Amino acid sequence: MKGFKEFLLRGNVVDLAVAVVIGAAFTSVVNAFVKGVINPLVGLFGTKDLAAYSSCLKGPCEVDAAGNVTSGIFILWGSVLSAALSFLITAAVVYFLLILPMNHFMRKRKSAEEEALEAEAKEVELLTEIRDALVRRG
C-alpha cells in the first residue's frame, strides 16, 4: 500500500491526469474541425460525410434507414479515413503548439545555463591567476 501511495503522490500521475483531461477536451475540438471543415472540403469532391464512403466487399449489400447493415459485408473506409485525419490533425497541433515551442524553450534555457557555467569558470580561472600572482609577489 505504501508503494501505491507514493505512486499516486508522485508529480507524474497528476501531470498524466491533466494530460488526459486536456486530451479529451482537445479531441472534441479536433472532431468538430473535421466535421465542420474537413468533411465539407471533401464534400466538394463527393459526399459531405466521410463516414458515408464505403465499399461492398460481398454483396448484395443493403443498409436500412438507421444505417445498419442488413446484408452483405461493407468496408467502411470513410470512417477510417476520418479517424486518420483526426489523428494527423491532433498530432500536428500537439507537435507545432506544444513540442516545438517546448524544445525551443529548453534549448534557450540550456544555452543560458551553459553560458552561466562558462562565465563562472572564467571567473574562477581569473581569481586563480590573481591568487597565483599575489603568491609570487609576496
Model pLDDT for residues 84-138, shown as the tens digit of each residue? 887 888 788 878 887 888 889 888 888 888 888 899 999 999 999 999 999 999 7
Instruction: Kindly state the average pLDDT of the residues 25-33.
Output: 83
Q: What is the pLDDT of residue 11?
A: 64
Model pLDDT for residues 77-88, shown as the tens digit of each residue? 888 888 888 788
* Phi, psi (rounded to 5 degrees) for 133: -65, -40
Percent of the chain with pLDDT strictly greater than 90? 12
Beta bridge partners of 56: 74
User: Cα separations (Å) of 79 from 86, 117, 126?
Assistant: 11, 55, 68
Asked if residue 93 lies in contact with residue 30, where contact means CB atoms within 8 angstroms, the answer is yes
pTM: 0.55
Is residue 3 very low, low, confident or very high in pLDDT (cuts 50, 70, 90)?
confident
Chain mean pLDDT for the chain: 82
Round to whole Å and give the CA distance between 90 and 1.
37
Round to whole Å and give the CA distance between 127 and 117.
15
Closest CA to 38 of 75, 76, 84: 84
Task: Say which range, 13-17, 28-32, 76-80, 105-109, has the weakest mean pLDDT.
Answer: 13-17
Asked if residue 82 lies in contact with residue 34, where contact means CB atoms within 8 angstroms, the answer is yes
Instruction: Kindly state the average pLDDT of the residues 4-20.
Output: 75
